[in-house]
A and B are shown apart, each in its own frame.
Chain A
Amino acid sequence: MPAPKPKSFQSLILTLHDYWSAQGCVILQPHDVEVGAGTLHPATVLRALGPKPWNAAYVQPSRRPGDGRYGENPNRLQHYYQYQVILKPNPPNMQDLYLGSLEAIGLDLRTHDIRFVEDDWENPTVGAWGLGWEVWCDGMEVSQYTYFQQVGGLDVSPVAGELTYGLERLAMYVFGVDNVFDLPFNDPDAPLGHLTYGDVFLENERQHSEANFHGYDVAVLKGQFEDMERQVPLMLARSYQGKSLVLPAYDMVLKASHLFNLMNARGAIAVAERASYIGRIRDLCKLCASAWVEQQEAA
């Protein structure tokens, strides 16, 4: 008997967890460093590299400081959730597995129009790209589906397949809600009381929007960015049990990346500087990626 359809944002997540867990994925928790996209979790960026198989699923809060609208836009958030699945090597039936997950969250594939529309993914800050599609459900993009070809400037072999579900958007579609803040966060019939997405996150959006656009001190951000930048090679130069400290170093790259996003939202980065900042982060990321692959291949 199929599981009952999810009725809330959180049960949608639990359904996806159940589904991917049943496929053999490890279900991870979010990485505890601010990131701009679920892909940046070390479980994807680092684990995609190297020869070892790896299948994982997790929710990752994503921070896009520039996208904040003080909670006044029904679709835009500076903090939202992505559901990430990474399968390495990608199984031959990955598309079917993906479609199965849509069915699991309650989309009837006989009444909806699901389409795989060309969309090649690229993330210049981590030197990554892949080919794939955006998946449309009745004209709406519900997921990004990518076969990673390079990460950190290195070839991904075997190839990892990545799925990214924009959880809020998907939930709005599944539950027929037009404003993200109206989403049922837990079951509307919950005995202990019902909360909406707005009850949980609206104030968060307001305060962070103000902080992102006006609050942060640019000089401090810049100093912190440069600190991180200096420390990455130092951390990589240090080793424990013969392995360089690539995992802490990568966390610093993530922090640098988030600091860059904050500076960007503050309007502190001129158009001409943008490319150079992105290049600096990419170089750091490449250092980590190379060190990681070396360790993986040695093991």
Chain B
Amino acid sequence: MPQLLLELFSEEIPARMQAGAARDLERMAREHLAAAGFLPEALKTFAGPRRLTLVVEGLPIAQADRKEELKGPRVGAPPQAMEGFLRKAGLTQDQLVERDGVWMAFIEKTGRPTTEIVAEMVEAIVRGFAWPKSMTWGTSKLRWVRPLKRILCVFDREVVPFAIEGIESGDVTEGHRFMRLGHGWGGQPFKVRDFDEYSKGLLDHFVVLDVEERKARILEGCKTLCFARNLELVEDLGLLEEVAGLAEWPTPVLGDMDPAFLDLPGEVIRTSMRTHQKYFAVRKPDGEGLAPHFITIANVQSADGGKVIAQGNAKVLSSRLSDARFFWDEDVKVGFEPWLEKLNGVTFHAKLGTMAERVERIVALAREIAPLVGADPDKAAEAARLAKADLASQMVGEFPELQGLMGGYYARAAGMDPEIADAIRDHYKPQGPGDSVPTAPLSVAVALADKLDTLVGFFAIDEKPTGSKDPFALRRAALGVIRILLENNVRGGVTSDLLFPWHEWQITTEIEKLRAEMFAKFDDLEAAASLHEDIKAMARANRRDFSSVFKLLGDVEPEKVAVAAPASVSEAIESFLSRQSGVLWQASVWLSKSVLDFFVDRLKVTLKDQGKRSDLVDAVFALGDDDLVRIVARVEALDGFLKTDDGKNLLAGYKRASNILKAEEKKGWKAEGGREILPDASAPEVQLHDALRMIEKPLASALEAEDFTAAMQELAGLRGPVDAFLDGVFVNSEVAAERDNRLKTLAAVRDAMGQVADFSLVGG
């Protein structure tokens, strides 16, 4: 079957947009073809520095003919209805046939030629393409990522004729921008009729069409260069992706770096190479450090084998690394304290204050968290105080991705405690699912404090993630906290041990600040005529509710304020502050709840990714526990238990029992008083009664020991008796005492199981 080949040839497309463009082209083409009724055998797209390509295999020459039935007005309907129908359908009345009292039209639609549909499709794609940024050029009204130069469009080896804003379709493409056959330089146009000719033609003209092939060539070329010099490539997938979008004929070239720069941290050299120059770093196979070379991916196989290219790039790298050296030297000279001073002038977020204020919060939090993770509180506070300082360093200003890391280096260079240096270095970790979690207690304390401050802070100003939007990466922060807690087995309640200290510090600080402000005003006001106005102005400036102060002071005439006993004004202020503190604490309870819910949500996602059921998290979380380590242990035990026969059956029994109870409780039944073995109790009743009594103590001690698997095993002992009870005992006995006792027995089952998890939330 015929093949369609489309190439949109333009000036250089930004590397970062190419993969998305290939996906969009594929999606749009699929949608258009499907809408036209085509089901192609295969469809593939390619993107590179100067072209987007689409190839579709197995399209028919034309659409299939279609028969359509149109239902018109009823026979005898008003003439207007008939006229309207005929106009809409484009028919005349003699083309209609009467069927069952209704006028029908049977239309045979001849399928349109595929070329027509393709021409329309290409126009729609070109005009509707969603580039992240697009532009116009010259006098054209068309928008594309950069000027669009040619459209190659052949179907079944023939040009599909059309024109878009003056660009006529054709069967011509061109090769590499510089490399060509024969002499000189410059792209050579050539004609193609199908995809085979196209891809071979491109290869002959020094263009590798497929990005995967370009990547493979780059890696292979790099490895060959390394092998010859006994070096190892420092692999970098992100960089590989980018350079594969910058060259049509990617040609690795190895250059030399002045070894004198090797005293700079390896990360600095690598980041400078990658960010500014898009070079790969190399290392010696045995050593840890970098080797004094680099690999650049040229777009040309140059006449001199890359000598000039290597020299030129080496020179640029030298000047880049000289800059980095300059930053390092300057930074070491300046040091932490002046940087911390600078953080006063750096806004973290308009509503969350300066970076320096953020540091204060992290310090307070790290100090509180330290004992929980086995770290020294003073050291944790010191590490937290220094953790963000490097944001003001020149190196981090130039390479933001080196934050933390540089702080660690500079701390070591300044002779600080290595534990503190490590904590500064690692406190941003884990930065993503692939990143490792800090394990040193001090690092754990600061890493937790950093993330918790971000989370609670943004929740407090109502900047929660919604849908796909998470501009402050709060999901990543929450996941980071979860991983740190779980992987380090950090025990404690999220609310009481992690969130509470944040609020306590925040509220105390706010109240202190307020108190200082108010008393400062008050002290000034020996003359006090303007006390009232001043407090009002303060209230406006702070946007706080000072109404209670007004109430206390409001009736006082300004003259009287002047003579009012200071004690009464100060009492008024204190009373206001204590009320204000109460309000803030109330808000913090609500806030903590929503942060905790967010953690639980992220925990569910994490466990789900590990193949565990999220309903089990709900079932365990419903017990009111917020120790994540314990929650996960329970979930795991529960998961194991529910996979056993006993577990499944006991769950079924639980549901039956709780349905019965629910129905009765709705009618007003309540468990009052103890349950007993009535004189004429049946065997199943006695058995269940005994079973409940037997597991009571072992269950309690298993829970006490947090051995949840053992606790589940105890519950398993209920399975037989519960089944027998539910099958053999009529709960709703007419004898009230019997009924009450039986319901109490079931309630006892529910309560016993409820100590392990809320089984009512476990899905069937």
Contacts and interface: CB of A to CB of B under 8 A. Distances in A.
Interface string B153-188: 000000000000000000000000010000001100
Contacts of B145: 131
A92 B309 contact: no
Contacts of A132: 146
B137 A118 contact: no
B401 to A, nearest CB: 19
Contacts of B308: 111-112, 138
A175 B136 CA distance: 37
B139 A111 contact: no
A89 B138 contact: yes
Contacts of A75: 319
A90 B312 contact: no
Interface string B303-337: 11001110111011101000000000000000000
Do most interface residues of chain B lie in helix, strand or loop, or is the interface mixed? loop
Given A110-B302, A115-B246, A158-B138, A96 B133 contact: no
Most chain A CB within 10 A, of B137, B299, B345, is at: B137
Contacts of A117: 12, 246
A272 to B, nearest CB: 9
B91 to A, nearest CB: 46
A58 B345 CA distance: 42
Interface string A24-64: 00000000000000000000000000000000000000000
Contacts of B15: 118
A96 B184 CA distance: 14
A130 interface: yes
B593 interface: no
Interface string A75-92: 100000000000001111
A138 B316 contact: yes
Contacts of B186: 96
B104 interface: no
A139 B147 contact: no
Nearest to A88: B138
29 contacts: A89-B138, A91-B138, A92-B147, A92-B149, A96-B186, A108-B303, A109-B178, A109-B185, A110-B178, A111-B302, A111-B309, A112-B302, A113-B302, A113-B309, A114-B178, A115-B246, A120-B133, A131-B134, A138-B309, A138-B311, A138-B312, A139-B313, A139-B317, A140-B312, A140-B313, A147-B136, A157-B136, A158-B138, A159-B139
B135 interface: yes
Contact of A159 (B14, B134, B138): B138
B185 to A, nearest CB: 5
A271 B345 CA distance: 9
Contact of B185 (A110, A157, A271): A110
Interface in A118-148: 118, 120, 130-133, 137-140, 147
Interface in B226-264: 246-247, 253
A131 B133 contact: yes
Nearest to B247: A115
A159 B136 contact: yes
Given A109-B185, A110-B185, A112-B308, A147 B137 contact: yes
A111 B304 contact: yes
Given A110-B300, A138-B308, A139-B317, 12 more contacts: A91-B138, A92-B147, A112-B302, A112-B309, A114-B299, A115-B299, A120-B133, A132-B146, A138-B312, A139-B312, A139-B313, A147-B147
Contacts of A15: none
Interface residues of A, number: 36
A173 interface: yes
A111 B311 CA distance: 11
B298 interface: yes
B285 to A, nearest CB: 26
A177 to B, nearest CB: 10
A90 B303 CA distance: 32
A111 B308 CA distance: 7
A130 B145 CA distance: 11
B135 A130 contact: yes
Contacts of A131: 133-135, 145-146
B11 interface: yes
A296 interface: no
Given A110-B178, A110-B302, A118-B15, A139 B296 contact: yes
Q: Which 7 A-B pairs have the closest CB atoms?
A: A138-B312, A118-B14, A116-B12, A139-B313, A113-B298, A139-B316, A89-B138
A118 B242 CA distance: 11
Given A92-B147, A117-B246, A139-B313, A110 B138 contact: no
A149 interface: yes
Contacts of A207: none
Contacts of B307: 111
Interface of B: 11-12, 14-16, 133-139, 145-147, 149, 178, 185-186, 246-247, 253, 277, 279, 296, 298-300, 302-304, 307-309, 311-313, 315-317, 319, 345
A95 interface: yes
Contacts of B253: 113
B316 A140 contact: yes
Nearest to B296: A139
B178 A138 contact: no
A112 B319 contact: no
Interface in A254-288: 271
A157 B312 CA distance: 38
Contacts of A149: 135-136
B20 to A, nearest CB: 14
Given A133-B12, A147-B147, A89 B313 contact: no
Interface string A168-200: 000001000010000000000000000000000
Contacts of A138: 308-309, 311-313, 316
Given A115-B246, A118-B14, A131-B146, A137 B312 contact: yes
Interface in A184-222: none
A111 B303 contact: yes
Contacts of A139: 277, 279, 296, 312-313, 316-317
Contacts of A113: 253, 296, 298-300, 302, 309, 312
A194 B671 CA distance: 108
B11 A95 contact: yes
A141 to B, nearest CB: 9
Contact of A90 (B16, B137, B178, B185): B137
B312 A173 contact: yes
Nearest to B253: A113
A203 to B, nearest CB: 24
A217 to B, nearest CB: 25
Contacts of A92: 138, 147, 149
Nearest to B16: A118
Most chain B CB within 10 A, of A92, A116, A158, is at: A116
Most chain B CB within 10 A, of A91, A118, A158, is at: A118
Contacts of A120: 133
A96 B11 CA distance: 11
A112 B11 contact: no
Contacts of A95: 11
A116 B304 contact: no
A109 B302 CA distance: 9
A21 to B, nearest CB: 22
A120 B146 CA distance: 11
Contacts of A158: 138-139
Nearest to A156: B136
Given A92-B147, A139-B317, A110 B303 contact: yes
A109 B147 CA distance: 22
B309 A90 contact: no
B138 A90 contact: yes
Most chain A CB within 10 A, of B136, B303, B317, is at: B136
Interface string A239-258: 00000000000000000000
Contacts of A90: 137-138, 147
A185 to B, nearest CB: 21
Nearest to B187: A96
Nearest to B312: A138
